[in-house]
Structure 1
């Protein structure tokens, strides 16, 4: 399994296109990139070319595979993806005397008209391709060395990184029976345990790598250092967090018994961006390579014949960062669960994660530097991060497909237009969507109980 994963990653090293318009020190940016002299593309479908499909096919099926035909077939729903468009390519090919069929997933630049999304798109594609083609092979090499299975993620076949024309070609996990969990239901214990075991393994692998080398991971692979502030710019980043916090405050203010929380959120809003940046700072020894975007939409599950989840795949490494593992845990907990499932199972969840981390570290001859109790304390130190991400993501999680804001409809606005539109939709959901209120209130209640909101 490890060999297959690493082979898929190596095949995907054919990434092309300049990242940020110049070559940098990491391996992706040192490659030879093809010149692109085409007019700007207008739709995500037009970004997928026959040349790309041929290269992805050969990476998947071998050099003898001959492309016969291909068709782009959409399969995701509105609201399943935001930073990119995920579609699929149905491929017919000839190999070993037979005509065959396969499918490949393509993640495409969404080609939004809004100019402030351009830098964001460039960075997230750079980060995700870097994770698939450089970081996962490093982590999986560590896991292989200590006799552990590789991180469960799709194979990356090929990536085209010309700015604003980015496409990543990935394994179509639907062919193996994987599917997305219904985000409206909220994560349950059986699914969460699979995810937390995988997060523990991922974090432990990064610790083993750092112990084996004097190279600082984020210094060598500089895209790791880029986060929301560099994606949106300092001004828009602050506006974004202030807006989400004020929206949450307005919701709390409209509900009897939550005025104290509303007042606290109003006071917190102006400082929210500084708190966010402080929460994601590296904090050794709690310092690992995080997934960064571990929520219910970025996970796929496989089930047995009785419907029990038996396997998981981690997706979308677009916001990976070096930070405390507690940021990944808080992100997952406060974006993907209904309140009772999160609170009632918290001790179990943290134990599952810690045991997975400990087992991999011990397999590598390393003891966990902190105890399980110290992990719990670190988890609660990062609850503010969980609060911020919950306020940002929960309204997206519970939004029905028909209510999702279409960025392409905002053709002549700026960031303030987007912020205003989001607020209006969120407040409307408070009355029309029965899922939003209980999920947000459960977060507020916990923050009050834990002393985060005082």
Structure 2
């Protein structure tokens, strides 16, 4: 039986997520609460906007003791109600996000306040005092304060790109200073996904095969064999343990730094005033090269991502060193040259970004734009991959990126 999209979505809403779970948060926000008048749970993102968790909005209508009415909503993340649920549960992404929002971001923001600068990195985090059997993350609904995402298929213009790079630089700087002052981050931050076994091998092979077959569309038939050979031998960067390279500058990377995970706020005149992070499930302690490659190659406008790549790295470096100085980083500042060297060293990120992440960013919304289709090796997966690799947007981006990546030796097979 084919069910309507509306009914299908409704069926996926977790029955255990009732209003009682939010009472402790509402009490904190509204100490003069009289009663909850209504509660409604709804999906908060469309198809193709979120892959590793089910993102919901919990809406409440409240009555306060003085008789006034108040409307409030919270953003809620739970495990996906799909075939990929067990995989996501094993990745420790919820453990990591609770830790980052609950401990590290408040520390980083305090470091800046003590240095005389007010910086906020993301939404308010609500930590439950109760032991829950299900994975649950509750955050402030930034939409209520006017924050929005930029349309992912368009790519970020220079203004939004620079604002995002500045925020990443501030986050990275604080994380590096904290590391020097307080020591190592927990082991789960050594890699993006803490998988106990590699469940992505078939997926990577299918994705690389479809990507190689699409190379003629990208005027890159001459690269197909190199990409195929390199892809067959490359590690899965999402599961790889971050290398510890002597003398390399390391930071806590956002880890999933693509445009949907940044939200922007504007004043009444339309001027960009604030940039916030969301979705910190995949943070990894490594070179900032990871976030820089991930963000620039996946999320910037096609006209700037390659043509302005070196300029964007220089801009990031300026903002990074500015923040490191402000926070009194106790070691020599990383040079621009060493940052470029790290970007070459961590070039293994380029193939998964351009063959997995970028097509997901640019694909049109559809019913099959989800993790199950992405992982599927049969007809549903083939249909989704065709939509990803053959749409005009991805063709234009790949024509810009592939020659650049090839000139950098991104697909060289190591002996």
TM-score normalised by L of structure 1: 0.79
User: In the aligned structure 2, how far is the partner of 1:58 from the partner of 1:223?
Assistant: 33
2:23 alignment counterpart: 54
Say whether 1:212 aligns with 2:176: no
1:260 match? 222
Per the alignment, residue 32 of structure 1 pairs with none
Q: Which residue of 1 aligns with 2:192?
A: 227
The alignment status of 1:84 with 2:84, answered yes or no, reads: no
Decide which of 439, 445, 452 is 2:403's aligned counterpart: 445
For residues 263 and 279 of structure 1, do their structure 2 counterparts lie closer, same or farther at Cα, with a shift above 3 Å needed?
A: farther
Query: In structure 2, how many angstroms separate the alpha carbons of the residues matched to 1:348 and 1:419?
Result: 42
Which residue number in structure 2 is paired with residue 269 of structure 1? 231
Q: Distance in 1 between matches of 2:219 and 2:49?
A: 33
Aligned counterpart, 2:71: 101
| Residues 46-80 of structure 1, C-alpha deviations (whole Å, 9 max, x = no match) | 24222211122123x14433441321133421111
Q: 1:325 offset after TM fit, Å?
A: 0.6
* 2:351 matches 1:387: yes
**Residue 416 of structure 1: CA displacement?**
7.0
Residue 451 to residue 279, structure 1, CA distance change in 2 (3 Å): farther
Q: Which moved more, 1:364-373 or 1:270-279?
A: 270-279
State the 1:342 CA deviation.
0.8
Is the 8 Å Cα contact of residues 47 and 369 (structure 2) preserved in structure 1? no
Q: Is the 8 A contact 2:360 2:388 kept in 1?
A: no
How big is the alpha-carbon RMSD for the aligned residues of Structure 1 and Structure 2? 2.7
Structure 1 residue 311: deviation in Å?
A: 1.4
Structure 1 CA distance for aligned equivalents of residues 237 and 19 of structure 2? 46
Q: How far apart are residue 114 of structure 1 and its match?
A: 4.4
Give the conservation status (yes or no) of the 8 Å contact 1:142–1:208: no
1:400 aligns with 2:364: yes
Change (3 A) 1:416 1:306: closer
Call closer, same or farther: CA 1:347–1:71 in 2, change over 3 Å.
same
Contact 1:288 1:325 in 2 (8 A): yes
Is the CA contact (8 Å cut-off) linking 2:50 and 2:370 kept in structure 1? Answer: no
Aligned to 1:4: none
Aligned to 1:14: none
Match of 1:282 among 244, 260, 267: 244
Residues 91 and 101, structure 1, Cα contact 8 Å, conserved in 2: yes
* Distance (Å, rounded) in 2 between the aligned partners of 1:449 and 1:399: 27
User: Is 1:349 aligned with 2:317?
Assistant: no
CA distance in 1, matches of 2:201, 2:287: 22
What do the CA deviations read for 1:204-261 (whole angstroms, capped 9, x no partner)? Answer: 1011112222x3222xxx4323533x33x43323333333322221211x33742221
User: Would you say the 8 A contact 2:192–2:238 is kept in 1?
Assistant: no
1:409-440 deviation per Cα after TM superposition (whole angstroms, max 9, x unaligned) = x7xxxx97447643442224444x21121122
For residues 240 and 125 of structure 2, the distance between their equivalents in structure 1, rounded to whole angstroms, comes to 33
In the alignment, which of 123, 139, 150 is matched to residue 92 of structure 2?
A: 123
* Corresponding position: 1:327 with 2:290: yes
Q: Distance in 2 between matches of 1:129 and 1:348?
A: 34
* Count of aligned residue pairs for this structure pair: 397
User: Partner residue of 2:104?
Assistant: 135
CA distance in 1, matches of 2:190, 2:380: 30
What secondary structure, in the 3-state scheme, does the structure 2 residue paired with 1:402 have?
coil
1:427 aligns with 2:390: no
Please state if 1:146 is matched with 2:115. Answer: yes
| Structure 2 SS opposite 1:190 | helix
- Over 3 Å counting, the alpha-carbon distance change for 1:293 and 1:238 in structure 2 is same
Q: Secondary structure of the residue that 2:235 maps to in structure 1?
A: helix
Distance 2:163 2:308 in 1: 14
TM normalised by structure 2 equals: 0.86
Instruction: Output one character per residue of 1:182-220: Cα deviation in whole Å (capped at 9) or x when no partner.
Output: 01111110001111001101111011112222x3222xx
Q: Which runs of 5+ in 1 are unaligned?
A: 1-41
